[in-house]
C-alpha cells in the first residue's frame, strides 16, 4: 500500500522537498506498513513558507470579502466532489474506518468552508454615532497565522483553521501532526484548484520543534493549536511571551449524564458515539458516563449487547465500524490505562483485549472497552485516555452529579440525556464546559462555536466566533466639526 505525495511540503502553490529534513515515515495504523516517506521542514523550508504567506497576504486582505468567500465555497464543492478519494486517503493516514471518513472528515471540512465562506461578507464592524462626529470599527486580518493539527481529524483540523483565517484575509502556514501529514497536502492542492492565490495556504511537515519554530517566527501573528494540554501550555507560553494571538483546542475528560427518565436506546447510542467513534480518539468524548441508579441495569444491558456487535477490523471494508488506534505509542498508552483500571479496582465489564485479526496482526487494534464500578478518584476517570475506554459511574441526585461532573481540570464538553427538558437546561447551565449536548453527543456543526473551558482551551473554532479569533478590531473616530483644543 503506497500513498506517497509528490513531496513533503506545499509552498506558494507547489510541492517542495528538502531531503536534509528529519525523516518522517507515514504508517498505516491497520497494518503498521510504511505508506509514505517524508521529511520534516528545515529552517530553510520554514522561512520559504512564511515569506510566501506574508507576501501573498497583503493583496488577499485587500480583496472584497465576498470574493474571498466565493473561493472558499468553491473549495467546499471540490471537497464534496472528491469525497471518496480524500476519505480513502484519510483512512490510510489515520486508520479510521472508511464508513466514518466518508461521512465525517472531508464532509465537515467542506461544511466549515461553505459556512464561513458564506457569512464572511456579512461580518462587519460597527458604526457609532456621537451626534455629528461618528466612529466605525474595522475587522482587520492578523497577517500570517500558523495552524498546528492533531492526528484524529487531520483534514477537518486543516479546514477548521484555514477557513476562518482565509475568510478574514489572513494567510496560513499549516503544520499537520507528524502522524497524519497527507490530507492537508490534498487540501492545499484543492485550494489552488478552487482559485486561491498561491502562498495563502502552505503546508510544512514536522514534529513539535517545527511547530515551535513557526510560532516563534517574528512574522507570525497568531497560532491555533489542536493538541493535548501539555502541548497547549508550551505553545501558549511561546505565544504569550511574544504577545501573539492564540487559539487552543485541547483535551478533555468530559461527563455524559444519563438520568432515569432518558430514552435508554438513545442514551446508549449517545454513550457509544461518545466513546467509540474514531476508536475513542475524539477530544470531546464523554468518557465519564454517569448513570442514575434507576436506569443503570437496563442501560448496562443494552450497552453491552450493542457494544458486542461492533465490527472491528479492516478500515477499508465499508462494514467495519472500528479501526485501530493511531500508532504503537497510543496503543501502549491505551492498553496501559486498561491495566491501570483493573489495578485500581474498577470492573472490566467488556472488552479490554487486543483482537486477533487475520492480515492485520501488526495493526494497533484494541477492543471497545467498558469499565463499571468506576470511582471519581480513579485515574481512568480523571485522565484523558484517548482510546475506546468508557468509564461508567453511578449517581442518585442531580446536585451530586453536577458537582462530580465539574470536579475536573478539563472543560471541553458535556452531555445530558433526559426527557425532563427544564432539568436538561438547568444541568447544562451549571456544567463548566464549552461544547454541550442535550439528548445527543459529539455533533459539531460549523454554525456552532466549538471549544473548551478551563484547561481544555482558549478561543473557539467554527461559527462567527472563529472569524473574530482570526481578526483584530481597529476603531476609527471621525470628527465632523472643529478641533476644540485648550492650547
Ligand atoms: P499533541 O499535543 O501531541 O500534538 C499536537 C500537535 O502539536 C502536533 O502537530 C505536534 O507536532 C505539535 N506539537 C507538539 N509539541 C509541540 C511544541 N512544543 N510546539 C509546537 N507544536 C508542538 O496532540 P496529539 O497527540 O496529536 O492529539 C491528541 C490530543 O489532541 C488529545 O489531547 C486531544 O484531546 C486533543 N484534541 C483536541 C481537539 C479539540 O478541538 N479540542 C481536537 C482533537 C484533538
Catalytic residues: 161, 249, 283, 461
H or E element in which residue 48 lies? helix 43-62
Q: Report residue 304 as a C-alpha cell.
A: 453491552
Residue 2 CA to residue 267 CA, distance in Å, equals 41
Give 383's Cβ-side CA count (13 Å radius): 12
Using a 6 Å cutoff on CB, does residue 189 contact ligand 1? Answer: no
Kindly state the average pLDDT of the residues 259-270. 98
pLDDT at 57 over 90: yes
Looking at the chain, the whole-number percentage of residues with pLDDT higher than 70 is: 100
- Give the closest residue (by CA) to ligand 1 atom 23: 227
Look at residue 161 in the predicted model and tell me its pLDDT: 98
Do residues 79 and 52 lie in contact, with contact meaning Cβ atoms separated by under 8 Å? no
pLDDT at 355 over 90: yes
User: pLDDT tens digits, residue range 311-338?
Assistant: 999 999 999 999 999 999 999 999 999 9
Using a 6 Å cutoff on CB, does residue 384 contact ligand 1? Answer: yes
Using a 6 Å cutoff on CB, does residue 333 contact ligand 1? Answer: no
Kindly state the average pLDDT of the residues 72-82. 98
* Overall pTM surpassing 0.85 (yes/no): yes
Using a 6 Å cutoff on CB, does residue 283 contact ligand 1? Answer: yes
Q: Ligand 1: distance of its center to the CA of 230 in Å? A: 9
- Owner of C-alpha cell 512564511: 50
Q: Ligand 1: distance of its center to the CA of 227 in Å? A: 2
**Residue 164 pLDDT level (bands cut at 50, 70, 90):** very high
- Give the closest residue (by CA) to ligand 1 atom 39: 249
Q: What angle do CA 325, 315, 302 make, to 5 degrees?
A: 75
H or E element in which residue 60 lies? helix 43-62
Cβ count near 107 (within 10 Å): 18
Look at residue 1 in the predicted model and tell me its pLDDT: 84
**Which atom of ligand 1 is the closest one to the Cα of 177?**
9
pLDDT at 26 over 90: yes
Q: Ligand 1: distance of its center to the CA of 313 in Å? A: 26
Looking at the chain, the whole-number percentage of residues with pLDDT higher than 90 is: 100
**Which atom of ligand 1 is the closest one to the Cα of 456?**
41
Kindly report the average pLDDT of the chain as a whole number: 98
**Residue 252 pLDDT level (bands cut at 50, 70, 90):** very high
User: pLDDT tens digits, residue range 63-75?
Assistant: 999 999 999 999 9
Residue 445 CA to residue 464 CA, distance in Å, equals 12
* CA diameter of the chain: 88
Residue 104 CA to residue 207 CA, distance in Å, equals 26
User: pLDDT tens digits, residue range 195-239?
Assistant: 999 999 999 999 999 999 999 999 999 999 999 999 999 999 999
Using a 6 Å cutoff on CB, does residue 367 contact ligand 1? Answer: no
Residue 137 CA to residue 380 CA, distance in Å, equals 49
Catalogue the E-assigned strands of 288-353: 288-292, 347-350
Q: Report residue 366 as a C-alpha cell.
A: 484494541
Do residues 322 and 312 lie in contact, with contact meaning Cβ atoms separated by under 8 Å? yes
Residue 152's closest CA among 71, 81, 55, 249? Answer: 249
Kindly state the average pLDDT of the residues 290-307. 98
Which residues are annotated as part of the binding site for NAD(+)?
149-151, 175-178, 251, 283, 384
Q: Ligand 1: distance of its center to the CA of 281 in Å? A: 12
User: What is each CA distance from 273 to 27, 83, 192, 270, 415, in whole angstroms?
Assistant: 26, 22, 35, 5, 12
Look at residue 358 in the predicted model and tell me its pLDDT: 97
Using a 6 Å cutoff on CB, does residue 226 contact ligand 1? Answer: yes
Q: Report residue 393 as a C-alpha cell.
A: 459511574
Do residues 78 and 113 lie in contact, with contact meaning Cβ atoms separated by under 8 Å? no
Amino acid at each position: 500500500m503506497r500513498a506517497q505525495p509528490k513531496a513533503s511540503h506545499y509552498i506558494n502553490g507547489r510541492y517542495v522537498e528538502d531531503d536534509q529534513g528529519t525523516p518522517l515515515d507515514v504508517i498505516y495504523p491497520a497494518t503498521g506498513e510504511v505508506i509514505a516517506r517524508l521529511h520534516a521542514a528545515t529552517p530553510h523550508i520554514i522561512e520559504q513558507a512564511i515569506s510566501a504567506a506574508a507576501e501573498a497576504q497583503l493583496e488577499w486582505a485587500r480583496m472584497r470579502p465576498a470574493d474571498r468567500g466565493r473561493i472558499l465555497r468553491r473549495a467546499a464543492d471540490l471537497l464534496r466532489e472528491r469525497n471518496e478519494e480524500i476519505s480513502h486517503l484519510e483512512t490510510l493516514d489515520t486508520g479510521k474506518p472508511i464508513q466514518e471518513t466518508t461521512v465525517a472528515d472531508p464532509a465537515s471540512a467542506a461544511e466549515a468552508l461553505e459556512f464561513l465562506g458564506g457569512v464572511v461578507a456579512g461580518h462587519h464592524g460597527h458604526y457609532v454615532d456621537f451626534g455629528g462626529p461618528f466612529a466605525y470599527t474595522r475587522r482587520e486580518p492578523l497577517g500570517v497565522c500558523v495552524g498546528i493539527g492533531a492526528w484524529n481529524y487531520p483534514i477537518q483540523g486543516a479546514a477548521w483553521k484555514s477557513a476562518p483565517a482565509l475568510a478574514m484575509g489572513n494567510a496560513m502556514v499549516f503544520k499537520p501532526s507528524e502522524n497524519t501529514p497527507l490530507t492537508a497536502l490534498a487540501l492545499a492542492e484543492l485550494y489552488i484548484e478552487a482559485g486561491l492565490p498561491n502562498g495563502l495556504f502552505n503546508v510544512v511537515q514536522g514534529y513539535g520543534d517545527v511547530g515551535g519554530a513557526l510560532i516563534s517566527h517574528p512574522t507570525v501573528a497568531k497560532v491555533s493549536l489542536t493538541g493535548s494540554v501539555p502541548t497547549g501550555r508550551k505553545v501558549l507560553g511561546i505565544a504569550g511571551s511574544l504577545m501573539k494571538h492564540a487559539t487552543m483546542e485541547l483535551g478533555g475528560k468530559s461527563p455524559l449524564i444519563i438520568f432515569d427518565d432518558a430514552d435508554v436506546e438513545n442514551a446508549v447510542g449517545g454513550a457509544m458515539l461518545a466513546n467509540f467513534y474514531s476508536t475513542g480518539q475524539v477530544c470531546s468524548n464523554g468518557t465519564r458516563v454517569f448513570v442514575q441508579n434507576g436506569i443503570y441495569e437496563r442501560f448496562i444491558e443494552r450497552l453491552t449487547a450493542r457494544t458486542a456487535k461492533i465490527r472491528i477490523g479492516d478500515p477499508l471494508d465499508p462494514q467495519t465500524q472500528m479501526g485501530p488506534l493511531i500508532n504503537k505509542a497510543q496503543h501502549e498508552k491505551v492498553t496501559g490505562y486498561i491495566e491501570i483500571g483493573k489495578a485500581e479496582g474498577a470492573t472490566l465489564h467488556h472488552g479490554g483485549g487486543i483482537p486477533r485479526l487475520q492480515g492485520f496482526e501488526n495493526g494497533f487494534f484494541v477492543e471497545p472497552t467498558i469499565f463499571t464500578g468506576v470511582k471519581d478518584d480513579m485515574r481512568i476517570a480523571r485522565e484523558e485516555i484517548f482510546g475506546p475506554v468508557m468509564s461508567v459511574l453511578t449517581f442518585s441526585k442531580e446536585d451530586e452529579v453536577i458537582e462530580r461532573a465539574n470536579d475536573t481540570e478539563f472543560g471541553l464538553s458535556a452531555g445530558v440525556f433526559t426527557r425532563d427538558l427544564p432539568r436538561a437546561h438547568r444541568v447544562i447551565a451549571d456544567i463548566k464546559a464549552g461544547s454541550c449536548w442535550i439528548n445527543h453527543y459529539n455533533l459539531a456543526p460549523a454554525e456552532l462555536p466549538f471549544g473548551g473551558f478551563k484547561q481544555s482551551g482558549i478561543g473557539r473554532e467554527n461559527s462567527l466566533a472563529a472569524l473574530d479569533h482570526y481578526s483584530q478590531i481597529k476603531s476609527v473616530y471621525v470628527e465632523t466639526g472643529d478641533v476644540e483644543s485648550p492650547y
